[in-house]
Structure 1
Amino acid sequence: MSVISRTGRSGAASPPERTLTDASVKVAAGWIAQFARTLKTCRLYDAMNPTVIRFRDELSQAAYAMIRELGTVTYRFESDDVTVDGVSVHPARSRDDNLAYPFHRDGVRGITINGGVTSREIDAFVDCVLAVTGQNLDGDDLVTLLWEAHLTHMDVDYVPAQGDVGAGAPTPEEGAGALMPWPAANDAQKQPEEAPAQAPEGGTGKGRSEDWTLGDLTVEVEASFVELDAMAGHEIDRFRAEYAAEHRVSPVTAAVAIAQACVKADPTIDDRREIARFLPRVLRTALSSGAWAEAREALRMLRALGVREWSEETFRQELQQPVTVARVVEQLDKQGEAGAAEWLALADDLGDAGIDWMTLVLSESQQRDVRLGVAEALTDRCRDNPERLASWLTDGRWYVVRNIVHILGWIGGAQVAGLLQVALRHPDSRVREEVVVALGNVELKIARPLLIRAVDGAESKLFCQVLARLSAARDAATARWLFAFLQQERFEQRPPEERRAIYAALASVGGDEIVPELEAELVRQNWFDRSQEIHRHNVARILARIATPRACEALRTAAESKRPPVRQAAQSALDWMKGT
């Protein structure tokens, strides 16, 4: 690799100037545009990504084709443009999209691609530019990186730093110098050592500072060194403590703090747009890492900026995506109840969208404490408007519907009856069981029709739960509905727990309106039917539990019956009443 020094040039004659045709400029412009696209692709993806590999290969092939057609191509770099033979081929579109800037900033004024350039050199050239334009900048500048890359078939025209080339050499006229070979390790051995520049006593002079003589200041220097050496231990400890404290702050917290400072610095409209493009990345990172307080602050700043570069509606849709919900649930389950409180505050800031977000998290969380906190928060948010949860009652996941029914039960009141009626038609029995439990917080007069409807096709467990809920108050219509079970032909084939539930519910809800039917059932004739005698005793016990004067009179009348089974059943019930 060779360089053209702008402070001193070699004595060899430079090659004659060459003017490219318009067609040639188009070829050179096409390659530099492809080079810019390759840089952007390399910043977006990992180095081993197939897209990156393909772009690098295509860039090398394009360089071969350009060299075959044009021979040698020289690109000149200004502060905001790349030119070929004085023709602009890649002007800067914005402050961020300025390919020429990193070259011009580091003193590179021109790059010449010669014949024989290899794909290794093209890749190394790309890597050098990436190193000085990415997020994690290296310590070296672009000129140093190009030198270390050993690009044999590429030349660099650069502005050297002060002192890189000896000031004693005469400066030739512009264009008179030839390419100066890049310094090599063996070159230093061939050149004779130069005597260090002497400075006047007292340490002043125009030479390098490390060549100055100290004169009479040696004692003061040694004393200063002793002082520094004595303070070193304390200062090292202080530095390490500050370093550790600085690195204990998460990148998300630091980014939010920087954004806050920028917002408070009276930014221009362009600055506000730049901040609005930056903060969504901070917000997403905060959500992925469980930094809920930082996410709230980032959301607040985005709303305050009020620019079109950020859409809150799009952000709300992203929150409900499965991948986002999974990451949030993972962090919440790790943090437990303490982290859930901060997250719920963030969900509150999102308004109605936060309700859907909380419901999704509730359905996926595996920690009981987290689920309990989210369910309680949903109850508070939807207490005045439970219809906000209606859409989730048709969800295909039974456990999601059960969670919503559980929350509706906590809300209670007549306002949730219609929603529970929808859930009562759910095919999963576990959801219907939760509906019966939730109806316990609804006024019985309103819940009774739903409970009666829940009996149809119910399993024994649900059947008994419904009857237990119906037993809370006396009701003539419910008593007649229950008495109809006693008259069914298949009543004796019902499971024992269902028969017991019917007897108990009828005794709790029945009154004088059902006494005549029970009295007729008590004295009904049954020849050679042992199970009927058990049924007769249960009917007598129902009359005893109703315990109205009319029911007691029916028992006393039956106790005087000439039929021993009827008399025994009635007398047993009367004895039970005396004992209670």
Structure 2
Amino acid sequence: MANPGGQHEEVSKEEYASANLVMTAMVKTSKALRIYLPNNPILIGFTDDLNGKMTGHLEKYGEFTLDVEPFVLRYKGKDIYQNQDPKESMACRMFADGIRALFFLPGVESSELMAFLGVAGFELSTSDEDVVTQLWERDLPHLRYLLEEDFIEGHLEEDLTDPGSQQAAVTRVYQALAQQIPPQPRMIPKHLLMLTGEEEKWLRKARQVEARRNGLDDVVNILSAILAGVKEPVIFWDFVGIMGNLTTNMFLGGEIGQALRLIRFMDQLMKLGSTLPEQQRLLAEALAGILNLQTVQVLQETLDGSEAVTHQELKELLLIFGLPSLGAICELLGRVEKLKVRKVIIEVLVELGRENPAVFAPFLNDSRWYLVRNMVLVLSLVGTPVALDMIIKLIPHKEARIRREVLGYLERSGDLKAKAYIVKYLRDDSSALRIKALQVLAREKLPFALKPIVALTTAEEFASRELSEKKAVYEALGELGGEEMLPMFRDMLLKKFWFQKTAEKESAQLAAAGLVRMQTGQALALLQEARNSKRSGEVRDLLEQAIAALALARAKRSG
């Protein structure tokens, strides 16, 4: 027997095509059953065609297996039937009554196929009994099915799914009572009520399954079936409200998986072409009310404390909630601790805000610096001009970690307009950010930065800056200014510093740093000239080191 819900073997094109022909014939015959009398030649033709295609398929490939989902039937993992109308969908009716898999076995007769379609095809039956009961009553020996509860314990043996072992004792009693004339209450012979060993074994296991059964599954199935079929506005709204409240309570109770199941259903129902606009609005309102501060807290604790919700499920969940729940999604981003979870939420926000990044504006003023920093990352991934304008407004932000995130975005950006804003960091309060900006401007050889950097060297406060920052300034001048800077460096190297050895050493260090970055013959000649003018001491040693570094850099570049 196949393994519904598990992995399916690869299906060849020929087998899938054959299964498609069977399914098409089944749909056509189901529709014909509604229209024509049993002796009508057209119906007989459809019936013979279905019987021939099913027989041919079974002889060649064995079982004809269907996995049942709300609006879809799948053959070995591939879609073979889809109908989104709850009133017309064969899949919807079987799924609502608990059937999750069907098996048509070799030897199936035309009468069995017609009996099956008579139950599942929405045509002749006026009985209030569900699909499972009607199929059981018809006792179709070559049709097997699995119910939702059969999946509760994957290790149960096949005898639990064998209609024969489930039905034999009850069938004997039923047949005995049917033979009594007149039909009146009588004592049933004791031997008819005794179970065989196999039946007792099945009953014991069935009771164990029932004890483990989650009643919440039944509630979810019933609500889903009602919402899929009801059209009256008042009743529809009542049940939408019930489902929304139930979903919220599932969140609060930690039943995230069940909540996701209901949310998926409401989202699918909202997107159906047969769902009326007013119904779509009601469903959207219900979905928007589910994610609030309380449910966000529970979801955050679940995401950080366990693996109960996969990253793919989280992404699906947040995309269903969408922009109406943007505030709650951003709040979740501000609370979760796991880096991988934050990454998933950021991916969702990028997708939601790509068309209109302005929706993130309120969150750029949040008091939590780490949330604002993540918003900068979201906007940088959106990457539109509007997103850029929002990001650069944070350059003067009081929190250095946010300013660093903005600088990182400007560094990564390929937009020359964005690069121009890096110059603003030359006046930043943080020395580390000023140095980082100098390094970026120098490495990318942005010519518009030369004048502002030169201006730094003449500012009053420049003398009090740390040597590492001053060195970064002159290295940037060497990278950007080229030979234009030689007169400045010459003056710094050859100027006489009477009785100011510390100042002389610093001046030589800074000029040498710039000349090494120039990597030209003129720079090397100036360093050698300055070295020859120094008889001894630290400055001469410093210049020797600079000459060696410059010569090595030129050799590597030419090599």
TM range (shorter): 0.5 to 0.7
Measure, in 2, the Cα distance between the counterparts of 1:244 and 1:327: 28
SS of residue matched to 1:423: coil
**Do the aligned partners of residues 578 and 427 (structure 1) sit closer, same or farther apart at CA in structure 2, a change above 3 Å counting?**
closer
What is aligned with 1:503? 474
Higher helix share: 2
| Structure 1 stretches lacking a partner, 5+ long | 1-202, 215-219
CA contact (8 A) 1:472 1:508 kept: yes
One of 342, 345, 349 as aligned partner of 1:371: 342
CA contact (8 A) 1:423 1:431 kept: yes
What is aligned with 2:499? 528
Matching residue's letter, 1:259: L
Q: Does 1:243 align with 2:232?
A: no
What is aligned with 2:317? 346
One of 257, 281, 297 as aligned partner of 1:326: 297
Matching residue's letter, 2:247: L
Measure, in 1, the Cα distance between the counterparts of 2:337 and 2:471: 39
What is aligned with 1:479? 450
What is aligned with 2:224? 260
Residue 284 of structure 1 and its aligned partner are, at CA, apart by 2.2
One of 374, 377, 382 as aligned partner of 2:353: 382
Q: Does 1:405 align with 2:376?
A: yes
CA RMSD of aligned residues (A): 3.8
One of 189, 196, 210 as aligned partner of 1:221: 189
Q: Does 1:447 align with 2:456?
A: no
What is aligned with 2:122? none
Residue 368 of structure 1 and its aligned partner are, at CA, apart by 2.2
CA contact (8 A) 1:386 1:416 kept: yes
Measure, in 2, the Cα distance between the counterparts of 1:491 and 1:528: 22
Measure, in 1, the Cα distance between the counterparts of 2:483 and 2:283: 65
CA contact (8 A) 2:304 2:337 kept: yes
Deviations 1:509-566 (A, max 9, x none): 3323333222223333322222223221330331232133554454455456589788
CA contact (8 A) 1:259 1:275 kept: yes
**Do the aligned partners of residues 240 and 568 (structure 1) sit closer, same or farther apart at CA in structure 2, a change above 3 Å counting?**
closer
Measure, in 1, the Cα distance between the counterparts of 2:190 and 2:286: 63
Measure, in 1, the Cα distance between the counterparts of 2:483 and 2:346: 45
Rg larger in structure: 1
What is aligned with 1:468? 439
Residue 440 of structure 1 and its aligned partner are, at CA, apart by 1.9
Q: What percent of counterpart residues are identical?
A: 21
Deviations 1:558-579 (A, max 9, x none): 4565897888766654444334
Matching residue's letter, 1:221: P
SS of residue matched to 2:411: helix
**Do the aligned partners of residues 336 and 520 (structure 1) sit closer, same or farther apart at CA in structure 2, a change above 3 Å counting?**
farther
What is aligned with 2:236? 272
SS of residue matched to 1:260: helix
Residue 442 of structure 1 and its aligned partner are, at CA, apart by 1.4
Deviations 1:26-62 (A, max 9, x none): xxxxxxxxxxxxxxxxxxxxxxxxxxxxxxxxxxxxx
Matching residue's letter, 2:261: A
CA contact (8 A) 1:476 1:509 kept: yes
Deviations 1:99-128 (A, max 9, x none): xxxxxxxxxxxxxxxxxxxxxxxxxxxxxx
What is aligned with 1:429? 400
Residue 459 of structure 1 and its aligned partner are, at CA, apart by 1.9
What is aligned with 2:516? 544
What is aligned with 2:201? 234
Residue 431 of structure 1 and its aligned partner are, at CA, apart by 1.0
Residue 283 of structure 1 and its aligned partner are, at CA, apart by 3.1
**Do the aligned partners of residues 515 and 310 (structure 1) sit closer, same or farther apart at CA in structure 2, a change above 3 Å counting?**
same
Residue 382 of structure 1 and its aligned partner are, at CA, apart by 3.5
SS of residue matched to 1:538: helix
Measure, in 1, the Cα distance between the counterparts of 2:307 and 2:476: 44
Measure, in 2, the Cα distance between the counterparts of 1:513 and 1:348: 56
Alignment TM-score, normalising by the size of structure 2: 0.56
Measure, in 2, the Cα distance between the counterparts of 1:229 and 1:337: 42
Measure, in 1, the Cα distance between the counterparts of 2:308 and 2:368: 25
| Structure 2 stretches lacking a partner, 5+ long | 1-179, 554-559
Matching residue's letter, 1:545: R
**Do the aligned partners of residues 524 and 445 (structure 1) sit closer, same or farther apart at CA in structure 2, a change above 3 Å counting?**
farther
Deviations 1:196-235 (A, max 9, x none): xxxxxxx999xx97xx9x7xxxxx834345x248677325
SS of residue matched to 1:393: helix
Matching residue's letter, 2:263: A
Deviations 1:319-346 (A, max 9, x none): 5642232133233334548533223213
What is aligned with 1:577? 550
Matching residue's letter, 1:543: L
CA contact (8 A) 1:507 1:543 kept: yes
Moved more, 253-262 or 410-419: 410-419
Deviations 1:129-187 (A, max 9, x none): xxxxxxxxxxxxxxxxxxxxxxxxxxxxxxxxxxxxxxxxxxxxxxxxxxxxxxxxxxx
CA contact (8 A) 2:303 2:341 kept: yes
Measure, in 1, the Cα distance between the counterparts of 2:199 and 2:365: 70
CA contact (8 A) 1:286 1:295 kept: no
CA contact (8 A) 1:479 1:514 kept: no
